[in-house]
Structure 1
Amino acid sequence: MEISVRDIPQGAQLIDVREADEYAEVHALGAINIPMSEFTVRLNEVDTEQDVYVICKSGGRSARVVEYLVARDIKAINVAGGTDGWVEAGLPTE
């Protein structure tokens, strides 16, 4: 499942799976950083009782993490366009 950066519900759980240095440069307001390289060991930090919106730079890594979550019966949605799309859309960043 995929969603546009503009269609993410306000207050949604947004997980940024880029590496920490990428996240530090710019990230979507409110996004939680759990790098893809650490995701399996940090899965307990994700609230699996609610939808999980996953973002990366442009959509590749997040798509792989979404596949991982869906295979475990967790509702996960890939953010199309990633952080690049978020910035281009003029959405708030930190």
Structure 2
Amino acid sequence: MQARTLHDQATPNGQGFRDVTPAAVAGLRDTLHIVDVRQPAEFTGELGHIPGAVLVPLATLAAAARAWDPSAEIVLVCRSGGRSSSAAAHLVAAGFSRVMNMTGGMLAYRAQGLPSEP
């Protein structure tokens, strides 16, 4: 029997992607493709970023995604969950099948005291 993945455990929503908690992302961050869609100053700013996250500002997402495996698990992150939700919907529309949005963004992640980098 195959182990359940984070995507399998995440909460489906009506937009075709799934919502995942900051704690779930933190627990598996070494094995996930985490894409932070904020601006560079936000990525290195006050809230920092999740260790291992890749910065892909929202405006450059479509171009960057062309190089990604559309069947890979991808977690999108932003400040509060709004931009990453839009990014997740865009990836689903582009044919990505295992897309997740981290609910509450970095605000929720940091509020829970989870590991971050400046």
TM-score normalised by L of structure 1 = 0.91
1:34-88 deviation digits (Å, cap 9, x = unpaired): 0001111222354434110000000000000000111122121010010111111
Q: Matches of 1:46 and 1:63 in 2, distance apart?
A: 18
RMSD over aligned CA atoms reads: 1.4
Larger Rg, first or second structure (1 or 2): 2
What residue number does 1:67 align with? 89
- Identify unmatched segments of 5+ residues in structure 1: none
Task: Map 1:11-26; keep pairs closer than 5 Å.
Answer: 11-25=31-45, 26=48
Query: In the TM superposition, what are the counterparts of 1:70-89 in structure 2 within 5 Å?
Result: 70-74=92-96, 75-89=98-112
Higher mean displacement: 4-13 or 54-63: 4-13
Question: Aligned to 1:28, which of 50, 61, 66?
Answer: 50
Normalised by the length of structure 2, the TM-score is 0.73
Tell me the distance in 2 between the aligned counterparts of 1:29 and 1:22: 14
Q: Secondary structure at the match of 2:101?
A: strand
Letter in 1 for 2:43: Y
Q: Give yes or no for the alignment of 1:3 onto 2:10.
A: no
Structure 1 residue ranges, 4+ long, deviating more than 6 angstroms after superposition: none
- In the alignment of these two chains, the number of paired residues is 94
